[in-house]
């Protein structure tokens, strides 16, 4: 599921609001196949650039499916004695939690089905026959993968393919936040590939950190915003398919495809995007992906069972009109026009 870049109004200044107070520090770059921006205020000097490079290196070495020699790539290739690090262990346990909470709709083993259908906006959707689906379904189901006491991964079928990309960026942000917390930083905003964690406030503006959600009806030529909110001491992730809509040739309506990992079927989804506020970005990232797989109605059912989670859903109703659902906590964070 493609992640939507949530804008945040981060003024890239190298000066602080007071010469004798916390200094503004800003770092930007590319990592994990996307871009990142980190801004914080501190009176202390420490090597954040080196720390960021180290964090990205460790996460890639552990969980990047794009690196042939990463732990997850070796496991996917059939290696059985790979002892995974603490980051892999943490992401595995978070994934298992969300897998259970979503009744299996969040599933890091669903990649085999995604590839079989050939998801993409510019080509027709493949329709695997039942024999092919039956074969692929043997490779899908996170319950078929275990983290052993020796911190190795045990798979029921050696061909099961693990992919934590739907949650790893959120987790990486939490690792960066933990680093800044240990440096006694009280005010920061971290963004990686559209996922965010905010703590304290923007001291330059003496206000909460302002972030925004994209408008799903925007065009490639013009970027517009759906809404703006003040983010403080929470994480936010947004998942959706803004630029991967398919257009119904008869009605002209937009829709997106998602996979039901329980039966292997590709379904039209009425949920266009899900923005999630949670206590950390790992959960926000995972829940946003889970909601997109569930669709609007089932997402509301799951939401009732979650604590300290707020959402902003953009969905299509039965009349093909775009609607908004906002939970109370998310509503409180919205900035009035």
Average pLDDT over residues 154-166: 95
Q: What is the pLDDT of residue 268?
A: 77
- Asked if pLDDT for residue 205 goes beyond 50, the answer is yes
Position 323 confidence tier, pLDDT thresholds 50, 70, 90? very high
Question: Is residue 269 assigned to a domain?
Answer: no
pLDDT at 331 over 80: yes
Question: For 97-112, how does the pLDDT look when each residue is reduced to its tens digit (9 = 90+)?
Answer: 999 999 999 999 998 8
**Maximal CA-CA distance, the chain:** 70
Q: What is the CATH number of the domain that holds 117?
A: 1.10.3980.10
Its domain, for residue 91, covers 67-162
| C-alpha–C-alpha distance, residues 200 and 189, integer Å | 9
Q: Which residue has the higher pLDDT, 131 or 175?
A: 175
Rounded-to-integer distance, Cα 274 and Cα 236, Å: 10
Residue 313, in any domain of the structure:
no
pLDDT of residue 321: 86
Whether residue 114 has pLDDT greater than 70 = yes
Mean pLDDT of the chain: 87
In the chain, the percentage of residues whose pLDDT exceeds 70 is 83
3-state helix, strand, coil in the chain (%, to 5): 30, 30, 40
| Range with lowest mean pLDDT among 158-172, 245-259, 298-312 | 245-259
Angstrom distances, CA of residue 284 to CA of 103, 194, 251: 17, 12, 34
Q: How far apart are CA 3 and CA 6, in angstroms?
A: 9
Q: Kindly tell me if the per-residue pLDDT of 225 is higher than 50.
A: yes
Rounded CA-CA distance 118/179 in Å is 39
Helices (H), the chain: 48-63, 71-76, 86-101, 111-117, 130-137, 165-182, 281-294, 296-303, 328-333
Residue 81 lies in a domain: yes
Confidence at residue 259, expressed as pLDDT on a 0 to 100 scale: 83
What does the pLDDT read at residue 98?
A: 98
Least confident range from 46-60, 95-109, 162-176, 231-245: namely 231-245
**According to the annotation, is 289 in a ligand binding site?**
yes
- Residue 202: inside a domain, yes or no? no
Does the pLDDT value for residue 242 go beyond 70? Answer: no
- State the residue for tokens 């078929």: 144
Tokens of 324: 């908004």
Confidence of residue 260 (pLDDT cuts 50, 70, 90): confident
Average pLDDT, stretch 34-59? 96
Q: pLDDT of 261-279, one tens digit each?
A: 998 887 778 898 999 999 9
For residue 217, being part of any structural domain is answered with no
Could you tell me if residue 54 is inside a domain? no
By C-alpha distance, which of 226, 200, 227 is closest to 335?
Answer: 227
| Ligand-binding site membership of 212 (annotated) | no
Q: Strand order of the sheet with strand 271-278? A: 23-31, 34-42, 187-192, 195-199, 234-240, 271-278, 310-316, 322-326
Across residues 204-232, what is the average pLDDT? Answer: 78
- Mean pLDDT along residues 173-187: 98
**For helices 48-63 and 165-182, angle between their N-to-C axes, nearest 10 degrees:** 150
Is 333 marked as a binding-site residue? Answer: no
Is 86 inside a domain boundary? yes
| Residue 20, pLDDT score | 64
- Tell me if 217 sits within 8 A of 322, measured CB to CB: yes
Q: 3-class DSSP state for residue 141? A: coil
Question: How many domains does the structure of the chain reveal?
Answer: 1
Q: What is the mean pLDDT of residues 159-178?
A: 96
Compute the average pLDDT of residues 71-94. 96
Q: What is the CA radius of gyration of the chain?
A: 20
262 occurs within a structural domain: no
């Amino acid at each position: 599921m493609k992640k939507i870049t949530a804008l945040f109004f981060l003024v890239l200044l190298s000066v602080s609001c007071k010469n004798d107070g916390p200094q503004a520090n800003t770092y930007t770059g590319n990592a994990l196949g996307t871009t990142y921006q980190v801004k914080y205020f501190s009176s202390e000097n420490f090597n954040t650039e080196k720390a960021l490079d180290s964090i990205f290196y460790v996460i890639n070495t552990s969980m990047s499916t794009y690196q042939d020699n990463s732990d997850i790539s070796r496991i996917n290739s059939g290696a059985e004695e790979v002892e995974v690090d603490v980051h892999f262990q943490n992401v595995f346990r978070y994934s298992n939690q969300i897998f259970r909470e979503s009744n299996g709709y969040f599933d890091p083993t669903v990649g085999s089905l995604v590839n079989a259908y050939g998801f993409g906006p510019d080509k027709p959707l493949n329709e695997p026959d039942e024999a092919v689906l039956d074969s692929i379904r043997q490779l899908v189901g996170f319950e078929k993968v275990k983290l052993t006491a020796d911190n190795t991964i045990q798979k029921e079928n050696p061909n099961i393919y693990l992919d934590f990309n739907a949650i790893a960026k959120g987790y990486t942000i939490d690792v960066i936040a933990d680093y800044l917390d240990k440096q006694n930083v009280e005010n920061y905003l971290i963004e990686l590939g559209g996922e965010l964690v905010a703590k304290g406030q923007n001291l330059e503006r003496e206000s909460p950190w302002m972030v925004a959600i994209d408008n799903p009806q925007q065009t490639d030529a013009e970027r517009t915003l759906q809404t703006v909110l003040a983010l403080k001491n929470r994480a936010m992730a947004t998942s959706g398919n803004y630029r991967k809509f398919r257009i119904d040739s008869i009605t002209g309506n937009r829709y997106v495809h998602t996979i039901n990992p329980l039966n292997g079927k590709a379904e039209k989804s009425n949920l266009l995007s899900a923005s999630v506020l949670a206590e950390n970005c790992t959960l926000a990232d995972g829940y946003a992906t889970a909601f997109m797989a569930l669709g609007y109605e089932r997402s509301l059912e799951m939401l009732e069972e979650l604590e300290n989670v707020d959402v902003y859903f953009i969905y299509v109703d039965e009349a093909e009109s775009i609607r908004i659902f906002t939970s109370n906590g998310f509503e409180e964070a919205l900035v009035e026009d």
